[in-house]
Structure 1
């Protein structure tokens, strides 16, 4: 009981990068601990694991025999190669994952120095977000087009409405439980569990309140307070299961609903957050309040979602009267 179970042998650990699988137990344990101990956000963990695996596979393919053989030149060459295929933010995220991993290996006395510590990522400055945004009438058309005579329709309208009216991230929305929809001061509120363990509570817009109440009551969720709020549809039943709705399924649903509503914009889950923020600002809301509602620590982040300047640009383009 006082000893850790032995790590699986390299042959039984196909998920480990080859350079890690071929190393000793201490190295393999320290590598696994990096993802299990230091990273709580599942999306960050997945992204960093993919970056580490890709980098170590890249090194192995170029003759690096062990972790100790990884040099800054290898990291720099890998970053250059990534820059020819990926956007700068993606390259910077992958480099950050590798840098943090080697920091952890250094403090665990697995390698003497961090080969990624001195490698600079690509320059990047962003003043405008890239997330596609819907016009208010498009968002309304999308919500109104959903058939709410089915459990799937009630769920989808409630999920999309939650992201539009509360500026919720898809991850926070899908992690909600039924008890995270509650009454306070005679008004329905939602509780969102955001990145970094932050708990964010918001009163519901009257449309969102209608969507959530119809969904919860129509699908019989009110008594299952500890259960997930948004769920998959049980196979062959057209009724909700007990399984939380995965993010990939939500994305596929959004694309399917947009196509059915004849919306040409290639929207995704995050589009509704940006749509809600932009619409709020267009109707006289302040940037500071929008940042609070979106649970942003800085208004600079909120500005990335503000697409009001797009309207000015379109008007100016039409001045070219040729």
Structure 2
């Protein structure tokens, strides 16, 4: 017989202290620690705080009292606030993720979010607009390449437009990440969501612009340092520094606004994906290229089904 377990030939019982320890809801920080992506962590934290405010939960133990009715009432209240279906689905997903974790830790008996009907999935078509080919060329030509900033910004725009990277992925690139070679072809080593790594062939046009920028900025030999950096007095900052996703957003927005079509950085990812699909790229390859876990997400960028010339109407002959 031990201090923690009372064992007989027919039963195994937890002591009262161990039972209470297992029943206690784990700290929120333990759950958040499993969320590696900073943006995901912030979104989930906001969703959880919203649910706690709505239900009036005062302590962790009260999560054991949450029922499906509470979740449905919260969902309906979110809808009354005129939040989008996408936002409501994300918040329900965040709450469900927490309860799944608590179930695994034996802190609650079930996940009350399961079975709660969620808003229908939007088509997303047009939510992030892709720009035309001529606008993409205008954007690439917009920076003043007589300056280090202009060389950097043009290399950034080319990296986004030719490789469909997310802002976070671009900001995480190091100098050596732009110098990988696979089967004799230059590749970018991209760290995507969830820390997943993928290798994307480096487009020759982007490769040349990156090389020009590194030579002008003076950190070409700092292999482990950030590739794209803030500038101080016309020079790149120290090796530990990297541009933030917000800075990248402002760079894209700034140049595009001057050209008359104000967009964010994600529009360049949409543009690259749409362009590749329009030029007959295999959708499964595009999914891998974008780092999408689900091909349904990739189909958002596939506008070929909306082109009249591709309609089955014109395949009919008598």
1:244 aligned counterpart, secondary structure: coil
Deviation at 1:95, TM superposition (A): 0.5
Write the deviation string for residues 87-126 of structure 1: whole angstroms up to 9, x where unpaired. Answer: 2122111101111112223333444443323422222253
TM value normalised by structure 2: 0.79
Q: 2:118 aligns with which of 107, 117, 121?
A: 121
Across the aligned residues of Structure 1 and Structure 2, the Cα RMSD in angstroms comes to 3.0
Deviation at 1:198, TM superposition (A): 2.4
Write the deviation string for residues 38-59 of structure 1: whole angstroms up to 9, x where unpaired. Answer: 2222222221111111111222
Matched, 1:219 2:213: no
1:95 maps to which residue?
A: 92
Matched, 1:153 2:185: no
Distance 2:217 2:25 in 1: 46
Deviation at 1:132, TM superposition (A): 1.1
Deviation at 1:187, TM superposition (A): 4.7
Matched, 1:194 2:218: no
The answer to which of 277-286 and 136-145 deviates more is 277-286
Distance 1:119 1:300 in 2: 22
1:100 aligned counterpart, secondary structure: helix
1:94 aligned counterpart, secondary structure: helix
Deviation at 1:276, TM superposition (A): 1.2
Q: Is contact 1:233–1:240 with CA below 8 Å preserved after alignment?
A: yes
1:60 maps to which residue?
A: 56
Deviation at 1:272, TM superposition (A): 0.9
Q: Is contact 2:252–2:265 with CA below 8 Å preserved after alignment?
A: yes
1:134 maps to which residue?
A: 131
2:236 maps to which residue?
A: 240
The answer to which of 78-87 and 131-140 deviates more is 78-87
Deviation at 1:199, TM superposition (A): 1.7
Matched, 1:277 2:285: no
Distance 1:121 1:79 in 2: 8
Unpaired segments ≥5 residues, structure 1: 1-23, 314-322
2:170 aligned counterpart, secondary structure: helix
Q: Is contact 2:219–2:236 with CA below 8 Å preserved after alignment?
A: no
2:316 maps to which residue?
A: none
Larger relative contact order (CA 8 Å, sep ≥ 6) = 1
Structure of higher CA gyration radius: 2
Unpaired segments ≥5 residues, structure 2: 1-20, 310-318
Structure 2 CA distance for partners of 1:71 and 1:291, relative to 1, 3 Å: closer
Q: Is contact 2:25–2:107 with CA below 8 Å preserved after alignment?
A: no
Structure 2 CA distance for partners of 1:295 and 1:238, relative to 1, 3 Å: same
Q: 1:40 aligns with which of 36, 40, 54?
A: 36
Deviation at 1:251, TM superposition (A): 1.2
Matched, 1:163 2:160: yes
Matched, 1:50 2:51: no
Q: Is contact 1:155–1:230 with CA below 8 Å preserved after alignment?
A: yes
Distance 2:157 2:70 in 1: 44
Deviation at 1:31, TM superposition (A): 1.3
1:18 maps to which residue?
A: none
Write the deviation string for residues 61-86 of structure 1: whole angstroms up to 9, x where unpaired. Answer: 89x99434433222211111222322
Number of aligned residue pairs: give it.
Answer: 285
Deviation at 1:138, TM superposition (A): 0.2
Distance 2:76 2:155 in 1: 44
2:93 aligned counterpart, secondary structure: helix
Deviation at 1:131, TM superposition (A): 1.0
Matched, 1:294 2:290: yes
